[in-house]
């Protein structure tokens, strides 16, 4: 008999590629959900005190009840401040729907959501809202194709512009 000394673990070891069972934002479900009617309350934000409301209708298009996590991502395609994240999960909500039922889900984005931390000499990190275009996407796999101006519009994508007039780094957001 040959002894088996490999310990049982759920971790990837020694640099082996371990394929995830589900991609980010997915899991096991016995039903299907469809998203429609995405709306954004404004396309132009002129103050760090303003907010943007984003709503989407989620429908359980399957034959059994289920739960869905609705996720909102924010992308700033062009920025002058160096931030490593390109697509950031900013809001989420878990909903339960009976078969055939629909529910509107609304998220409120504020300056804290579209701001980044920027180092200020002698003052540490300050939250800064940079004047720019911002792209909102619902669902992790939604491709808004933000760098292709001739791409077909995705119904689960929307854009708003922050224009405070305080170039180059927008306005400092109160913490």
DSSP assignment letter at 111:
H
Q: What is the pLDDT of residues 86-134, one digit of tens each?
A: 788 999 999 999 999 999 999 999 988 988 877 766 767 777 888 889 9
Checking if the pLDDT of 84 tops 70, the result is: no
Domains observed in the chain: 33-168 (2.60.40.10)
The predicted model scores a pTM of 0.79
Check: CB of residue 33 under 8 Å from CB of residue 60: yes
Helix/strand number for the chain, H first, E second: 1, 11
pLDDT of residue 100: 97
Q: What is the pLDDT of residues 42-69, one digit of tens each?
A: 999 998 789 999 999 999 999 999 999 9
């Amino acid at each position: 008999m040959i002894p088996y000394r490999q310990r049982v673990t759920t971790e990837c070891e020694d640099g082996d590629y371990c394929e995830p069972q589900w991609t980010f934002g997915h899991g096991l479900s016995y039903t299907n959900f469809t998203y429609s009617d995405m709306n954004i309350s404004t396309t132009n934000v002129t103050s760090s005190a303003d907010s943007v409301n984003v709503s989407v209708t989620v429908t359980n298009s399957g034959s059994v009840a289920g739960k869905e996590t609705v996720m909102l991502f924010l992308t700033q395609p062009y920025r002058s401040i160096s931030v490593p994240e390109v697509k950031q999960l900013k809001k989420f909500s878990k909903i339960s729907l009976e078969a055939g039922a629909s529910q509107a889900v609304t998220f409120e984005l504020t300056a804290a959501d579209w701001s980044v931390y920027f180092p200020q000499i002698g003052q540490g990190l300050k939250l800064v809202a940079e004047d720019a275009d911002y792209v909102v996407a619902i669902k992790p796999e939604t491709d808004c194709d933000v760098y292709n101006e001739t791409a077909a519009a995705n119904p689960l994508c929307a854009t708003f512009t922050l224009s405070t007039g305080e170039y180059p780094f927008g306005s400092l957001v109160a913490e």
